[in-house]
Amino acid sequence: MKHVSLPCLLITLTLHGVVIADEPVRNGSGEEILLQGFHWNSSRNAPQTWYDVLARMAGQIAGDGFTSVWLPPPWSDVSEWKTPTAEGGGEGYFWHSFDKTSRYGGDAQLRQAASALNQAGVNVVYDIVPNHMSDKAVYALFPRGRNEWRHDCAQCDEGDAFMDGTADLNTANSEVFDAFKKELINLRDQYGAKGLRFDFVRGYAPETVDRWMQVFGERQFCVGEMWKGPDEYPEGDWRRKASWQDALKDWSDRSRCTVFDFALKERMQNGNLNQWRHGLNGNPNPAWRKIAVTFVDNHDTGYSPGPFQGQHHWPLPEERRNQAYAYILSSPGTPAVFWPDMYDWQRGELIRQLIRLRKDAGIKADSGIDFHTQYSGMVATTTGTRKSLVIALDSDLTKLPEGMGQPVLTWDGGKIRIWSTPAAQALIGVDFNCDYADTILDETVYAVGSSLELGAWDPRHAIALTYNPQERRWTRVIDLPANQAIEWKCIMRNNDTVRWQPGPNVRFTSGTASVTRGTF
C-alpha cells in the first residue's frame, strides 16, 4: 500500500541485535523478471474480466521475456469508497473472505489464468494482504474479542497500523497465523502459486513472513512492500538515523524475502541521475543487490488507466520513465515492470528490447555493477555471466574505449544509450601515482587513459588524484577490471588548460601490477 521519505548512512546491524540471515534469500532463480500483472483500476475492466485478460495474454507475457507475473489479491472484496478526486473498492486490499470470486473474475477464471500463465512458463506470484481486511460482517472468520484484531487488546499487533488500525488483524495470534498458512498452501496447491508478494509488511513481523514461507516453499519467490522512510521510525529506533537501504536490508534478513527497492525509488523521485546508484541494487555488496526488487511505479505510486487515473501517490515524472526502465533492466536486482507501461502506454517496445539485452548478457540479481561517476548523468557497467552492458543516461560520454563500438540500443534521441561488450573481469584496485607534478594556479592532477574507468583519453572525464605532501606525490586507488591492458598518463588540469605528462604512455596489465606510476 503506501508512503514516503529520505536516504543514506551505514549501520552495523549486529550492534542493534538484528539477526543477519544465514540462509539464502528467496529470490527465485536470481534471474527473474517480474511483471506487475494489474493496475489500480484493473478490477473495473470491462467487458472482459481481468482474469480473462491475463489468460488471453499469457503467451505474449512469456514471449516478452517475463519469468513471473504478480497477480492482484485473489480474495473477495466488495468494499467501495469515493471522494471528489478519487474512488476505489474491490481491488482486494479490503477483502472479506478467502473466496476467490472477486471483481477481477470468478474462481474458475482465476484457475484458468493461473494455469495459462504457468503453462506458458510464467510463474504466478499472488499479492497477499495479511495486515488488514474489511471489518464489516466478517466476524465468523475472525471473531472480535479473541485477540485476533489489533483493537482487541492494547499491544497485540506486530507492527504499524494501517490507517487507524480498526481493520488490522493480529498476525501474531496463532488462529490468524494458521488461517493464512492454510490459505497460502491452498493457493500453492490449487491455484498455481509459485511465489508471494506481501502487502504493507510494516504492519507485521518479518519473522512471521519467514514462518509462512517455510511452509509455502523454501525455494519459492517472495517479496515484501516495506514502504517506510527513516523519519517514520520513532525516536530511539536505530532505523530513524539509518538509510533507506539499511532498513530494507534489515527486513529482508529477518524475512529471507526480497524487498521492493524503495531506496532506489526515493532517489529516482528526489535525486539526480547520478544518485540512482544509491539504491539497494547499486550497493557494492552483492548480498544487498540480490535482495532488491527494482521498480519504476506500481498500482499505488503511479498512474493507472481508468477512473481518476488511479492512485498516483508518488509517480515518477514522465521525462524520466524511459531512463528508469533502461536502468533497472540493465542493472542488478530483480526488475519489476508495471502493466500499463508495458501494455497500455506505448513503452512496450523499449522494454522488450531491454529485456532481450538483459537476458543476452546474463544479468542476475547479484551481478556486479561499476558506476563511472566522472561523467554527467548516469554511466555504469553491469557485468553478466555472458556479456557486460554499458549504460549511459543523459550523459556527456562521447569518447569511447577502443573496441567498444556502436550502441546496441539508442532511444529518446540519445538520452538512453547501451553498449554490449565482452564480460568484464572482477574489479581490482590499482594504486595510481603521479610524481613531481608541480601544479600552478588552480590546477589538479588527474589520471587519464584508455579504459572507460579512466575517461577513454578524454581529459574532461579523467580521475582526480589526491596530493600526499610527505611524498610529494599525487595518488589514488582506482578500481579496474582484472587482466585488462591499460595505457595512461598523468595530466594537470584547470578549467582552461590541460598539461600532459611528457613521453610515452604508461602501460601495465591490471592484476599483474597493483601499483602504477607516471612522472612529470
d(CA 394, CA 245): 25
Residue 483: which domain range? 427-519
Q: Is 9's pLDDT higher than 60?
A: no
Residue 367: inside a domain: no
- Asked if 155 and 287 sit in the same domain, the reply is yes
Nearest Cα neighbor of 184 from 117, 98, 76 is 98
Which H or E run includes 419? strand 416-422
Task: Report pLDDT digits (tens) over 144-159.
Answer: 889 999 999 877 889 9
What pLDDT shows up at residue 448? 99
The domain total for the chain is: 2
d(CA 49, CA 42): 9
Q: Grade residue 19 by pLDDT with cuts at 50, 70 and 90.
A: very low
Q: Grade residue 23 by pLDDT with cuts at 50, 70 and 90.
A: confident
For range 207-221, the mean pLDDT: 98
- Asked if 308 and 441 sit in the same domain, the reply is no
d(CA 232, CA 240): 7
Q: How far does Cα 514 stand from its chain's mean position?
A: 34
The domain boundary, picked from 259, 290, 320, lies at 320
- Asked if 129 and 250 sit in the same domain, the reply is yes
Which H or E run includes 250? helix 244-255
- Asked if 168 and 49 sit in the same domain, the reply is yes
- Asked if 316 and 442 sit in the same domain, the reply is no
Task: Report pLDDT digits (tens) over 48-83.
Answer: 999 999 999 999 999 999 999 999 999 999 999 888
For range 116-127, the mean pLDDT: 99
CATH code assigned at 508: 2.60.40.10
d(CA 331, CA 215): 32
Nearest Cα neighbor of 50 from 119, 121, 127, 120 is 127
Catalytic, 496? Answer: no
What pLDDT shows up at residue 73? 99
What pLDDT shows up at residue 321? 98
Number of other residues whose CB lies within 10 A of the CB of residue 203: 23
* The 3-state secondary structure of 121-172, one letter per residue: CCEEEEEECCCECCCCCCCCCCCCCCCCEHHHCCCCCCCCCCCCCCCEECCC
Task: Report pLDDT digits (tens) over 402-440.
Answer: 999 999 999 999 999 999 999 999 999 999 999 999 999
For range 261-280, the mean pLDDT: 98
Residue 386: inside a domain: no
With a CB cutoff of 8 Å and minimum separation 6, the contacts of 185 are: 215, 216
Examine residue 47 and say whether the peptide bond preceding it is cis (omega within 30 degrees of 0). Answer: yes
- Asked if 158 and 280 sit in the same domain, the reply is yes
- Asked if 101 and 227 sit in the same domain, the reply is yes
Residue 117: inside a domain: yes
- Asked if 434 and 304 sit in the same domain, the reply is no
Catalytic residue among 32, 91, 157, 225: 225
Task: Report pLDDT digits (tens) over 169-196.
Answer: 999 999 999 999 999 999 999 999 999 9
Residue 329: inside a domain: no
d(CA 123, CA 492): 56
Q: Grade residue 6 by pLDDT with cuts at 50, 70 and 90.
A: very low
For range 465-484, the mean pLDDT: 95
- Asked if 201 and 52 sit in the same domain, the reply is yes
What pLDDT shows up at residue 441? 86
Catalytic, 266? Answer: no
CA dihedral (181, 185, 191, 192) positive or negative = positive
What pLDDT shows up at residue 94? 93
What pLDDT shows up at residue 137? 62
Q: Grade residue 16 by pLDDT with cuts at 50, 70 and 90.
A: very low
Catalytic residue among 158, 168, 199, 266: 199
Residue 202: inside a domain: yes
CA distances from 409 to 341, 350, 355, 390, 391 (A): 19, 9, 12, 11, 9
Q: How far does Cα 285 stand from its chain's mean position?
A: 15
CATH code assigned at 217: 3.20.20.80
Mean of all residue pLDDT scores within the chain: 94
- Asked if 310 and 435 sit in the same domain, the reply is no
Residue 331: inside a domain: no
d(CA 300, CA 2): 6
CA 43-48-54 angle, 5° bins? 75
Residue 422: inside a domain: no
The domain boundary, picked from 320, 353, 386, lies at 320
The domain boundary, picked from 320, 354, 374, lies at 320
d(CA 103, CA 76): 8
What pLDDT shows up at residue 33? 99
CA distances from 507 to 401, 404, 488 (A): 15, 20, 7
Residue 360: inside a domain: no
Q: Grade residue 22 by pLDDT with cuts at 50, 70 and 90.
A: low
- Asked if 120 and 260 sit in the same domain, the reply is yes
d(CA 255, CA 21): 8
Q: Is 34's pLDDT higher than 60?
A: yes
- Asked if 297 and 159 sit in the same domain, the reply is yes
Residue 126 burial (C-beta neighbours within 10 Å; 0-12, 13-18, 19+):
buried
Q: Is 342's pLDDT higher than 90?
A: yes
